[in-house]
Amino acid sequence: MQIFIKTLTGRKQAMNFEPENQVLAVKQSLQEKEGIQVDQIRLIHSGKQLADDKTLESYNIAAGATIHMVLQLRGGSSSATP
């Protein structure tokens, strides 16, 4: 099935996957095409962040769906400032 990934620049990229493919497979393909490390990619569909070990069909992602790619933010403080 063909799905669309909306990249960081707002461009829509068509990609082909099977419904039983894991989200991690999508991230790996994006790493090859966009040059962004898998651990920096977050994928969002219907307002939910997609977990690497889940399948596309488990999120009801069907042909023609659009998934948004955003970058994982790194760093920052884990403690609140008083």
- Output the six-digit token pair for 80: 């609140």
CB atoms within 10 A of CB 30: 21
CA distance 24 to 14: 17
pLDDT of residue 78: 53
38-63 in b/e burial notation, b at 16+ Cβ within 10 A? Answer: eeebebebeeeebeeeebbeebebee
* 13-66 tens-digit pLDDT: 999 999 999 999 999 999 999 899 999 999 999 999 999 999 999 999 999 999
pLDDT-derived band at 72, boundaries 50, 70, 90: confident
Token pair 């920052």 in the structure block, residue: 76
pLDDT of residue 77: 52
Q: Give the global pTM.
A: 0.84
Q: Domains of the chain by range and CATH?
A: 2-71 (3.10.20.90)
